[in-house]
Structure formats: C-alpha cells, structure tokens
Structure 1
Amino acid sequence: MGTMSPLNAVLIFLATVLGMELFAYAAHRWIMHGPGWFLHKSHHRPRTGNWELNDLYAVIFAVPSFVLLLGGVQLGWWPGFTWIGAGIAAYGAIYFGFHDLIVHKRIRHRYIPRSSYMKRIVQAHRLHHAVRTRKGTVSFGFLYAPKPEVLKAQLRESGAVVQRITIPD
C-alpha cells in the first residue's frame, strides 16, 4: 500500500511503545484484576513451577503484534501497521525484561537495581504484590510508577489486607 518515511515509522513505533503503557495499565487494572482474575491470580500466589496461568496473557497480547507485523510486512497492509506491531512487540520485550527477569527473577541473575528509577519500579511492583486479592491493590502500570510513599498511603486508605511485601518467585 506504499512506503513510509523513516521518521514517521520511528514516531509511530515510539508512540506505540508509550501507548502500550497506558493499555497495560488499563488491562492490568480493569481486566486482570477484574473478569480476567481467574488467570492473573496465579501471579499473586507463589509459583510452583516455571509457568503460571498468568503467562497466557503474554500469548494473548502477542496476537495483535503478530497480526499487524504479518499484515504490514507480508500482506501489503498500510506500512504503519508494521511499526505498530513492532512497537507492541518491543513493549512486550521491555516488559519481559523488567517484570519477569529483573523483578520476578524467572531466570537467575545478579543484577541489583541501583538507579532511582529502577528502585522505584521494583518497589512499586512489590507494593502491588502486598495484596493477594484482586481488590485493594496499587500500581498497575509498569514503566511508570508513583512514588512508594504515595502507594503506601493508597494501601492504608484502601483497607486491604496487606501481606508481607514479597514478590512470588
């Protein structure tokens, strides 16, 4: 269906990566902690093997990326679809790196967050896991997180039962 300037391709790609944070927040808050809790609750419990039901969300969210990449690269769709699909895939890779590798240590490593940004993201996720139920949790985004003091105040105000703050391995 035509070509696209490299600048437009990069802008679409970056806008998609940033937009995925908004999508991930909404999906996590209102789907995963809502009607999709039947899959996501496995993520708020200690893992008993290498996989949990929550991992199916990675497959579900990869489908639009795959379809858009296929359509944009192979089927002659608008070239922007290629870059949207690539942006979704890039967000998934960033999410996997931060969430599954750094925070949950699904592959053993010795990395210790030292920057204030990385410490804040890890702390926010720990506070998210302080509540084992679908209600009363805080911090649903992943690349952006409010300050830990704000999240702790929200937890106190919610009246949720707060567990010892650990992240399930």
Structure 2
Amino acid sequence: MMIYLLYALLIIATFCFMEGVAWFTHKYLMHGPLWYLHQDHHRPEPGWFEKNDAFFVIFAAPSIALFFFGWRDQLNWMFFMGLGIFLYGMAYFLVHDIIIHQRFKWLRHSDNTYIKAIRRAHKMHHKHLSKHDGESFGMLYVARKYRDAVRKEKKSAHAN
C-alpha cells in the first residue's frame, strides 16, 4: 500500500517539476536557439498548425520513453514519472491551447480569476514579438501581479 502512495507522490512531484522545466525551456531554449521553431507562435502564420507544435512531440518523447521502460517487466518508478510528464502535457494543452489561445472555442467568456489572469500573463508574454525582452514564461503558475490585477478589475466592475 505504501508503494502506491510513493507512486502518487512521484506523479505529483514530476507534474510540479515540469512547470519549472517548461519555464526554463521556454525562456532559454524556445526564446534562444530553438526560436526558429517557436517564432511562429509569436508571429502567427496562416494555417492551423505551427512549427511551435513540434514542442509537443519533443516534450512527449521523455514521457513515452519512461512509459516504455517503466512498463517492460513490471511497473516501476519510471512509468509513474512518465505519467506525471504526460499529465502535465495534458494540463499544458488544456491551458495553453484551449483556455489561452482558444484553438477550440471552450471557456471563451469565463469570469474565473485564474483563467483571466493566465490569459493576461500570456498576453503580456506575446506583446514581445522577438525572442528578447520577454516576460511570463511559465504556463500553469500565474504571477501574483496578474491575479491581483484581475481581482482589482473585478472589484472595480462590481463597485460600478
């Protein structure tokens, strides 16, 4: 029974760690040597797919490898670490592609503070059209200044 608790903690820890990996990768690789793949995300080109979508494959590779090696003989820690990466990827897709960029028109008019704050943070990130001078490189964590701005807006709207 204790092993299942450890596996659950490993999934959660890996999921949380991936936010740091996503931030680091976004700031130093996507806005650095891999800008070629990422730039069409900041300067949209016609079409539904972007070169930036290659990052889904890049991030999926470690998860797939961990699933494979964690499942081969019997379930081990690698499988559950792969599951944590997979779940982060699903959350990333939901937040980035559905909530923020609205590739699918769900949650379009949400009044949720988190959703509004994450959209605002991402909008501030996208105001920079080059790979330099960016801000807000994370995905699921929203800096306090964006949450506070949304709360202030909501409070002001309710006061009127």
- TM-score tier (shorter): 0.7 to 0.9
Q: Which amino acid aligns with 1:34?
A: G
- Within 1, Cα distance between the matches of 2:73 and 2:117? 43
Which digits, 9 at most, give the CA deviation of each residue in 1:44-103, with x for residues without a partner? 012411100000011011000001001111x23771101100000000000000100111
Q: Is the contact made by 2:37 and 2:51 (CA closer than 8 Å) also made in structure 1?
A: yes
- Within 2, Cα distance between the matches of 1:115 and 1:149? 11
What is residue 109 of structure 1 aligned with on the other side? 106
- Number of residue pairs aligned between Structure 1 and Structure 2: 148
The answer to whether 1:30 aligns with 2:28 is: yes
The answer to whether 1:127 aligns with 2:111 is: no
Q: Is the contact made by 1:128 and 1:140 (CA closer than 8 Å) also made in structure 2?
A: yes
Shift >6 Å, 4+ stretches: none
What is residue 19 of structure 1 aligned with on the other side? 17
RMSD after superposition: 2.1
What is residue 46 of structure 1 aligned with on the other side? 44
Q: Which amino acid aligns with 2:69?
A: G
Residue 40 of structure 1 deviates from its aligned partner by 0.4
Matching residue within 67, 77, 80 for 1:80: 77
Residue 113 of structure 1 deviates from its aligned partner by 3.1
Q: 1 or 2, which has the higher helix percentage? A: 2
Q: TM-score, normalised by structure 2?
A: 0.86
Q: TM-score, normalised by structure 1?
A: 0.81
Q: Is the contact made by 1:69 and 1:81 (CA closer than 8 Å) also made in structure 2?
A: yes
- Within 1, Cα distance between the matches of 2:113 and 2:130? 28
What is residue 10 of structure 1 aligned with on the other side? 8
Residue 121 of structure 1 deviates from its aligned partner by 0.9
- Within 1, Cα distance between the matches of 2:7 and 2:140? 22
